[in-house]
């Protein structure tokens, strides 16, 4: 099914907007943060755990699933939804970012990318056609085109050449997806050059993609640089298509980038930080390893309805974490997903109420934007 995006409210004071993304298998309220299920699972959680947070759309990683177990096997098992027992919607990335991060193990040509598997060193090849073939086999609702994500330090000439190839690859990706049930998103590159970003946006927006993403950001650059690009480019993206900012997920970033018109985000922060002991709460971030929680009988967050907060104290969760019990990783991850789901619900509520600018100010001045305690 081809997606539809119904915008229910445009904020009067910012570029923020609230909508409903209908993907057939799931209707997703936007703005939305997608949890990352790299290998076809959100780490430490069952599909029921993920669904219990209200999540209806997750991201899976084409590169990793392409290498193991392989898209042919996933297709044989009935597609990714059946394989992982997930009845919500799935977005699969193209694998491009992971391949291009293997700088010493890959070679880029017009045809695609030759690289060595990080698993066994075997020679592998990924082209726009192969990336789309894999995503068709997965049966994801949203498939991302293969793009080149240039290094943060790349010079302007390299970025322009990379953009041109990404545009050609985008056209090949669309051709490969003809007749597919997947929705296909194009990706806008251009480094940290506003004029190049706008030029590339014109090229990608001219193609019949169902949605458009901003890639190549939040890759180590100063946060202010990212916000400048997002603020300049996002409001120029087509209003009728979903706008997706890739790889961003700190609470303060989500709140501020929504104000510039972003609809969709993905990030490993809720899950990875949980495994490192960092918990997000309405009173700010806390590290469950800290001795201050040794005898703390409070839940992680008094305002949170998740299973971890209903059942367990900070003292018990700290004990589990220091004992390296799997239950600690599961509960902290479950809580963080519930926190981010709740945050996006508050973001959406503020847009619907028409006072999003005031919400941003309150949030940035409040405890949730503070550093860990």
Beta strands 264-266 and 243-245, pairing class: parallel
Q: 197: which 2 tokens? A: 């970003």
SS (H, E, C) 233-262: HHHHCCCCCCEEECCCCCHHHHHHHHCCCC
CA 157 to centroid of chain Cα atoms: 29
58, 281, 8, 241: CA torsion to nearest 10: -40
Integer angstrom CA distances of residue 361 from 3, 144, 256, 313, 326: 33, 34, 10, 32, 38
Q: Are the C-beta atoms of residues 363 and 252 closer than 8 Å to each other? A: yes
Q: Which of 90, 99, 75 is nearest to 40 (CA)?
A: 90
Beta strands 106-108 and 113-116, pairing class: antiparallel
* Rounded-to-integer distance, Cα 258 and Cα 169, Å: 29
- Could you give the residue numbers annotated as active site? 93, 266
How many CA atoms within 13 Å lie on the side-chain side of 361? 6
State the DSSP code for 175.
H
Question: What does residue 253 show for φ and ψ, rounded to 5 degrees?
Answer: -70, -45
State the DSSP code for 104.
G
């Amino acid at each position: 099914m081809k997606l539809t995006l119904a915008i229910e409210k445009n904020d009067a004071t910012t570029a923020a907007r609230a909508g409903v993304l209908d993907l057939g298998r799931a209707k997703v309220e936007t703005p939305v943060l997608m949890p990352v299920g790299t290998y076809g699972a959100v780490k430490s959680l069952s599909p029921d755990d993920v669904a219990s947070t209200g999540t209806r759309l997750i991201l899976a990683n084409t590169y990793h699933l392409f290498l193991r177990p392989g898209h042919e096997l996933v297709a044989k098992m009935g597609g990714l939804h059946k394989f992982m027992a997930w009845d919500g919607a799935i977005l699969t990335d193209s694998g491009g970012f992971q391949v291009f991060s293997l700088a010493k193990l890959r070679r880029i040509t017009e045809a695609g990318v030759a690289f060595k598997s990080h698993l066994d060193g075997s020679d592998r090849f990924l082209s726009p056609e192969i990336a789309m073939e894999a995503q068709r086999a997965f049966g994801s609702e949203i498939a991302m085109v293969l793009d080149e994500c240039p290094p943060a330090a790349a010079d302007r000439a390299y970025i322009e050449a990379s953009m041109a190839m990404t545009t050609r690859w985008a056209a090949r990706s669309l051709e490969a997806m003809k007749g597919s049930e997947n929705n296909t998103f194009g990706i806008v590159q251009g480094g940290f050059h506003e004029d190049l970003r706008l030029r590339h946006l014109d090229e990608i927006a001219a193609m019949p993609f169902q949605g458009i993403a901003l890639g190549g950001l939040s890759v180590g650059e100063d946060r202010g640089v990212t916000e400048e690009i997002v603020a300049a480019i996002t409001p120029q993206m087509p209003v009728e298509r979903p706008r997706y900012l890739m790889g961003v997920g700190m609470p303060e970033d989500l709140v501020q980038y929504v104000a510039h018109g972003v609809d969709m985000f993905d990030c490993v922060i809720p899950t990875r930080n949980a495994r490192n002991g960092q918990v997000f709460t309405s009173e700010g971030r806390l590290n469950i390893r800290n001795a201050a929680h040794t005898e703390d009988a409070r839940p992680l967050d008094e305002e949170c309805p998740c299973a971890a907060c209903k059942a367990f104290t900070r003292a018990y969760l700290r004990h589990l974490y220091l004992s390296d019990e799997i239950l600690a990783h599961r509960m902290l991850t479950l809580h963080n997903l519930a926190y981010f789901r709740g945050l996006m619900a508050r973001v959406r509520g503020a847009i619907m109420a028409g006072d999003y600018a005031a919400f941003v100010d309150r949030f940035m001045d409040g405890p949730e934007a503070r550093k860990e305690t």
